[in-house]
Chain A
């Protein structure tokens, strides 16, 4: 399973755009990139998933370069409620196993 590397923590202010980059140098051909959000004492919540190029949904965008060795989660105009831990995971459709890395603890200030 491909290992992921993310910054341990990030700080931002309300209204700013936040970009969290994840490195996954050993990503395999079958692997998808998925981002989850976790609040304290809750289970992780799916944010977005992609395979290549750009994916956008109602809450975030995911940018994946052609070599797929990294990805960037973009959160537009964050609010205080976006304070959470964000996990980047790389998964194999054949095994379904998701191995969590350290995650990025995002703190949003007023």
Chain B
């Protein structure tokens, strides 16, 4: 199946710094990617939809100035956590849909996730 990668797989940073997480579709093009966050023992929460060449669409309650999303190409979306604080510590996961993979609402391929720890 299609592969989605994330980099870095984990990051530790000091409070107040910004952290960039990359999400790449390795063997397919993705006009749309999604960003989720997941706290321990909880489900994935959709943060935003990243659209290639246009602004991201954020879910209610997600601060767009806090979580900057850029989808500069058909294979790369980045999430920047600006001025990170300990409460931003979480597991961040991206996904992308491979067109024509299975049809219907299709199969979304998920990245392996990025563990962010803010000290």
Bound together: yes
Cβ–Cβ < 8 Å partners of B115 in chain A: 41
How many residues of chain B get a CB closer than 8 Å to chain A's CBs? 27
Mask of A80-108 contacts with B, CB within 8 angstroms, 1/0:
00000001000111001111111100000
| A96 CA to B110 CA, complexed, in Å | 13
A32-B104, A43-B110 as given contacts; A87 in contact with B32, CB under 8 Å? no
B44 touches A44 (CB 8 A): yes
Q: How far is the CB of A8 from chain B (nearest CB, A)?
A: 11
Interface contact A46-B112, CB-CB below 8 Å = no
Q: Whole-angstrom distance between the alpha carbons of A84 and B21 in the complex?
A: 26
Q: What are the residues of chain A within 8 A of B91 when measuring CB–CB? A: 41
The number of A-B residue pairs with CB atoms under 8 Å apart is 68
**Secondary structure dominating the interface of B:** strand
Those of B53-112 within 8 Å (CB) of chain A: 91, 93, 95, 97, 102, 104-112
With A and B bound together, what is the CA distance between A6 and B4 in angstroms?
27
- CA A95 – CA B95 in complex, angstroms? 14
- Tell me how far the C-beta of B90 lies from the nearest C-beta in chain A, rounded to whole angstroms: 12
Query: A96-B32, A100-B43, A100-B46 given as contacts; is B97 within 8 A of A49 (CB)?
Result: no
- State whether A97 touches B110 (Cβ < 8 A): no
Chain A CB within 8 A of B119 CB = no
Question: Are A98 and B46 in touch, CB under 8 angstroms?
Answer: yes
Q: A43-B112, A44-B44, A98-B46 are in contact. List 16 more A-B contacts (CB 8 A).
A: A31-B105, A32-B104, A34-B105, A34-B107, A43-B4, A44-B110, A45-B110, A49-B104, A87-B44, A93-B105, A96-B105, A96-B106, A98-B34, A98-B105, A100-B36, A102-B43
